[in-house]
């Protein structure tokens, strides 16, 4: 963000969250972590606000074209370029296609072959619903996390706009890869059925579950997703590649990886002088970024099942551990290790050559 001169803008649009509190069923905190220490990151910004900032910085450029309401239907690579057919019917030719269409990317199978995609998707056994609810004067600026047995969790987090709060309802299954057939069926049936299912699951969960469920019924930004890690042995194929969640969806650092991978790709492209050299830049991108990403590929052992347990007993144990580490500050000893270091390459931005055309979807 510093390299893009965006740090200040991100800070001024942050959600204002000051830390994370784990609470019991009466709303009393038993463990607290300051912002930047662990759960609440140094930067907390809503995805739409971050996307808005990126848009603001490029929409005035006359060499960038935006298309809305359309998507790629097919791709055909030739030795010199890549032909794209859009669902809207148009055909265009590009030097490079970057699939940045998220975890459920439909462009990915057009770019990467089946053997590369096989085994690339790891459902970690968690469903997350996210939406906006009205705030209450007692809400404050902490991320409040409440857990109940059967892997249920209700969370609310502050927004910059003081009249609303972000709400999450999480359902965690006992093991990675294990689906909940009731949740699956409801999600396949659409938003209304999903909301009905959540009401049934959370009606007796405790704390402010009823308030959150009532807010959910009114929310117009509701969505629910299956928490899936994407791990692929290759992200690039000649003049096409996937980036961000489409290539390496993970947890906690997804946005960091998405931004940094785009930075490295842009940097490697900035070093070439012609369309012929795009292939080299693409190869180099994978060479440079994969070692940076590798440090983030493995999730903490037992995540998320240990943090969202099924039984009252396991939840009590988890709460005791959280209480202990928050009181002693022991977790700070494990921060700043090798895995936390990100040495980004430097690029000479001033000499970016004029490309014939590029598209990001
Ligand atoms: C509930 C939840 C909480 C999260 N919390 C955090 C967090 O605290 N910290 C963190 O770092 N990350 C978090 N993440 C992950 C983070 O949101 C992603 O890692 C990040 O948004 C990835 O960016 P992206 O641009 O690759 O993909 P996305 O943000 O998913 O963007 C993909 C875009 O492509 C569009 N699209 C889809 N299909 C097509 C198509 N065929 N053609 C054109 N466009 C298409 C979509 O509409 C979307 O706008 C969270 C994710 C979820 C679901």
Alpha-carbon span 302 to 161, nearest angstrom: 35
Q: 54 C-alpha vs ligand 1 centroid, how far in Å?
A: 14
Ligand 1 centre distance from Cα of residue 208 (Å) = 28
Q: Please work out whether the CB of residue 106 comes within 6 Å of at least one atom of ligand 1.
A: yes
Is the minimum distance from the CB of 166 to ligand 1 under 6 angstroms?
no
- The arithmetic mean of pLDDT across residues 129-142, rounded, is 96
Integer angstrom CA distances of residue 277 from 130, 284, 301: 43, 11, 41
The pLDDT value given to residue 343: 79
Helix (H, G, I), strand (E, B) or coil at 70: coil
242 C-alpha to center of ligand 1: Å?
13
The model's pLDDT over 247-275, given as tens digits with 9 standing for 90+, comes to: 999 988 899 999 999 999 999 999 999 99
Q: How far apart are CA 296 and CA 172, in angstroms?
A: 22
Residue 168 CA: nearest ligand 1 atom is 1
Query: Is the Cβ–Cβ distance between 72 and 87 less than 8 Å?
Result: yes
pLDDT number for residue 333:
55
Q: Cβ distance 248 to 230 under 8 Å?
A: yes
- Cα 258 to ligand 1 centroid, rounded to whole Å: 9
User: Quick check: 351 pLDDT over 50?
Assistant: no
H or E stretch covering 285: helix 278-294
The shares of helix, strand and coil residues in the chain, as percent rounded to the nearest 5, are: 35, 20, 45
Cα(330) to ligand 1 centroid in Å equals 33
Q: Output 354 or 124, whichever has higher pLDDT.
A: 124
Task: Please give the distance, rounded to the nearest whole angstrom, from the Cα atom of residue 61 to the centre of ligand 1.
Answer: 24
Ligand 1 neighbour 361 (Cβ under 6 A):
yes
Q: What is the pLDDT of residues 164-194, one digit of tens each?
A: 999 999 999 999 999 999 999 999 999 999 9
Alpha-carbon distance 157 to 155, whole Å? 7
Q: How do residues 302-338 score in pLDDT, each as one tens digit? A: 899 999 999 999 999 999 999 998 988 766 655 554 4
pTM value is 0.91
Check pocket membership of 54 for ligand 1, CB cut-off 6 A: no
User: Please, what is the average pLDDT of the chain?
Assistant: 91
Q: Is the CB of 52 under 6 A from ligand 1?
A: no
Residues 361, 359: Cα–Cα separation, whole Å: 6
Question: Ligand 1 pocket, 11 CB below 6 A?
Answer: no
Per residue in 44-61, pLDDT tens? 999 999 999 999 888 888
């Amino acid at each position: 963000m510093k390299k893009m001169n965006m740090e200040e803008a991100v800070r001024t649009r942050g959600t204002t969250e000051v830390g994370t509190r784990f609470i019991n069923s009466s709303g009393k905190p038993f463990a607290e972590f300051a912002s930047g220490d662990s759960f609440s990151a140094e930067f907390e910004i809503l995805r739409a606000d971050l996307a808005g900032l990126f848009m603001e910085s490029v929409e005035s450029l006359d060499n960038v074209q935006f298309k809305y309401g359309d998507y790629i239907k097919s791709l055909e690579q030739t030795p010199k370029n890549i032909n794209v057919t859009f669902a809207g019917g148009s055909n265009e030719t590009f030097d490079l296609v970057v699939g940045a269409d998220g975890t459920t990317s439909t462009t990915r199978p057009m770019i990467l072959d089946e053997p590369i995609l096989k085994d690339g998707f790891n459902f970690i056994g968690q469903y997350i619903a996210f939406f906006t609810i009205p705030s209450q004067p007692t809400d404050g600026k902490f991320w409040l996390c409440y857990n109940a047995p059967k892997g249920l969790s209700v969370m609310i987090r502050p927004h910059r706009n003081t009249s609303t709060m972000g709400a999450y309802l999480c359902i965690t299954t006992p093991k990675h890869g294990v689906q909940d057939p009731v949740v699956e069926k409801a999600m396949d049936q659409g938003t209304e059925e999903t909301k009905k299912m959540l009401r049934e699951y959370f009606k007796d969960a405790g704390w402010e579950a009823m308030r959150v469920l009532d807010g959910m019924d009114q929310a117009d930004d509701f969505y629910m997703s299956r928490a899936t890690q994407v791990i692929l042995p290759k992200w690039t194929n000649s003049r096409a590649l996937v980036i961000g969640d489409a290539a390496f969806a993970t947890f906690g650092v997804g946005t960091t990886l998405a931004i940094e991978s785009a930075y490295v790709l842009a940097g490697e492209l900035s070093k070439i002088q012609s369309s012929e050299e795009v292939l080299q830049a693409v190869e180099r991108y994978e060479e440079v970024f994969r070692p940076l990403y590798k440090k983030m590929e493995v999730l903490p052992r037992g995540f998320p099942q240990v943090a969202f347990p099924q039984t009252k007993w396991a939840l009590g144990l988890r709460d005791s551990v959280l209480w202990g580490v928050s009181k002693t500050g022991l977790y700070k000893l494990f921060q700043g290790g090798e895995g936390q270091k990100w040495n980004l390459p430097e690029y000479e931005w001033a000499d970016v050559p004029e490309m014939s055309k590029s598209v990001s979807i």
